[in-house]
Amino acid sequence: MTQTMNGETGNEPAELRESVADRLLRSTAARSFDPEIEIDWSAPLEPGKRFILDHRCSLYGTALWEQLSPEQRLELGKHEAASVASTGIWLESMLMRILAKIAYKGDPMSRHIQYALTELGEECRHSTMFARMIERMGTPRYGPPARIQRLGDLVPAIATGPAMWGAILLGEEIPDRVQREQANDESIQPMMRMVNRILIIEEARHISFARAELPRAVAATPRAELPYHRAVLGRFALIVSRSLINPRVYSSVGLDPRTARKAALANPYHQEALRYSGEKIVAFLSENGLVGAPGMTMWRRSFLVG
């Protein structure tokens, strides 16, 4: 059984893949958003409203958290939200490179490749939206350190088949879980809620696209090669989980970044928040045989699994 770049098997009816892509294209036509129009970027931020829920802050429940004033807790939440958005830009840049490679090697007349190009366009808008949001919050652009960004440069090259689709889903589904939790919470800044709502609707299509592809890619992969894909995904899961909160955010409230980072990684509330964010995607990857040796040590260090 042969496998193409995007995981298609030679004897798989093309109609199955085309029907999924056609449905997603019709959904895109019916429900898409332009953040430049949908979000009032000139609206003032509302005093006292959060950027993330308190119990999703990395230091929530620690002694350092108890030392912070209510205003400092809001400020830390704002910087953590900016850090997650900065990491989102980095992840989406990798995803766009993968989608461009799929489109380059595929048939542009197919609905499958047309949807890949459509998703590429939406991810461009999402990255611009994240950048505008960070600018509006008045925080630094955080993102992963340079050494992690260099590793990220390798992902589009080394992640193929199951690892490629699994990496896409990790980057999309981990933030999606938290976005759904706070999209309609009135204690969250209106700008943040609107960003979350746009992402929930549009990323649902992206997730459906990748979830349809991953089992096909697994079926087309020789069993002897699956340990490689598990190792790649374990490494990528650790990179994503550790990159969400840049240690420099703690300086915004006068905390030492190294001390606060150590407290966050040891914090059971933060560990549980990561497990919550990864619960659905870890279950899906496990069902498809992609969570296990030789990547389990990295999965456990990521806190996405217990």
Q: Using one digit for the tens of pLDDT, what is the confidence trace for 191-249?
A: 999 999 999 999 999 999 999 999 999 999 999 999 999 999 999 999 999 999 999 99
In the structure, what pLDDT confidence band is assigned to residue 12 with cuts at 50, 70 and 90? low
Give the three-class secondary structure for 3: strand
Asked if pLDDT for residue 9 goes beyond 80, the answer is no
Q: What is the C-alpha separation between 51 and 67, in angstroms, rounded?
A: 20
pLDDT at 13: 59
Question: Are the CB atoms for 265 and 272 separated by under 8 Å?
Answer: no
Residues 6+ apart with CB under 8 A from 206: 119, 122, 123, 168, 172
pLDDT band at 150 (very low <50, low <70, confident <90, very high): confident
Least Cα distance to 255 among 54, 51, 79, 50 occurs for 79
The CATH code belonging to domain 14-37+49-302 is 1.10.620.20
With CA atoms as reference, report the closest residue to 217 among 208, 200, 229, 232.
229
Q: Which residues pair with 9 in a beta bridge?
A: 3
* Average of per-residue pLDDT values in the chain: 92
Stretch among 5-9, 17-21, 40-44, 274-278 having the lowest mean pLDDT: 5-9
Q: What share of the chain is helix, strand, coil (3-state, %, to 5)?
A: 70, 0, 25
Q: Whole-prediction pTM value? A: 0.91
Q: Which residues contact 82 (CB under 8 A, 6 or more apart)?
A: 51, 133, 134, 137, 139, 140, 141, 142, 249
Which percentage of the chain shows pLDDT scores above 70?
96
Enumerate the domain spans of the chain. Answer: 14-37+49-302
Q: What's the confidence (pLDDT) of residue 6? A: 43
Yes or no: say if 238 and 291 are a contact pair by the CB < 8 Å rule.
Answer: no
